[in-house]
Amino acid sequence: MPDQDQQPVVWAPGTHELGEGARWVDGRLVFTDILAGRLLEVSGTAPGTPRELLRLDVPLGAVAPVEGRPGHWIAAAGTGIALLGPDGSTEWLARPEQDAATPVRMNDGVCDPQGRFWAGSMAYDETPGAGSLYRTDHDGTVHRVLTGLTIVNGPAFSADGRLLHVADSTAGVIRRCTLDADGNPLDMVEFARITDGGSPDGMTVDTEGRLWVAIWGSAAVHRYEPDGTLSAVVPLPAPQPTSVCLPPTGGRLLVTTARLGLPGAPPPSGAVLAVPVDAAAPAAAAYRPR
């Protein structure tokens, strides 16, 4: 739980329309402003103004570092998965949503502990069932793993990579499945359901196996025990939290927020917030190309 005597503070000021993809990489926080196609970073040790690392001419949902290639990223961007260079150069691995029946973009994404990149998609108009979850393997091939979702968020993995948590935000449901060694789902169960009108968005698993979830529309982050029990609610001064990050050093929950659909919303909507908590999580896993 957060320290009740300490309130959330602004860690990185900004008016990002759709901040997302908060990840701990090399001792700093990296995150995206999706619709602006921007990748940003801010210090992991003290609040500060975010710095732009690169900018694309398509939406940029989330990134993961590429192992052994400093400054390079694998990204959920536009209609597919791409490798990005430090200068923003783009090598597309696949664009599976390029010819979708309704316009679709990539959304959230993360690497599992095995070094595979997972990312979800969603229709711009939130057409029910138009979203999918994709897995990018070490050889760069992209596979559609789950279909029939609407707004795919997460995913988040257990420490051994065997358990996958994924949110279908529109349905208000977080599901969990067991994966085989190749990353194929063996089962799918409902892990948690949001009943207060909010929607589950970005999430992460801490070192105790608890799932922390940004709840869009509810100005809160939820913490769930491994059995799905809701064990903590962290209130925030912004209505649309989008993703969460727990540094490996612990002591702090970092939360990206959005101003999308909130014209004239006052700060801190669109900023990155920090809340004191007694929890930690591993740094972002890197993509390991073959």
Which residue numbers are catalytic? 201
Rg, the chain, Cα only: 17
- Judge whether 113 and 285 are in contact, CB under 8 Å: yes
Give the contacts of 99 (CB within 8 A, at least 6 positions apart): none
Q: How far apart are CA 150 and CA 170, in angstroms?
A: 6
In this structure, the number of other CB atoms found within 10 A of the CB of residue 25 comes to 17
Q: Which two tokens stand for residue 45?
A: 């040790």
Three-class SS state of 171:
helix
Q: Which two tokens stand for residue 265?
A: 């919303």
Sheet containing 19-25, strands listed edge to edge, beginning at the edge strand earlier in sequence: 19-25, 28-33, 38-43, 51-55
Give the contacts of 41 (CB within 8 A, at least 6 positions apart): 28, 29, 30, 31, 50, 51, 53
Identify the bridge partners of residue 33 per DSSP, sorted by sequence position: 19, 38
Q: How far apart are CA 261 and CA 284, in angstroms?
A: 29
Q: How far apart are CA 226 and CA 197, in angstroms?
A: 23
In degrees rounded to 5, what are phi and psi of residue 34?
-55, -60
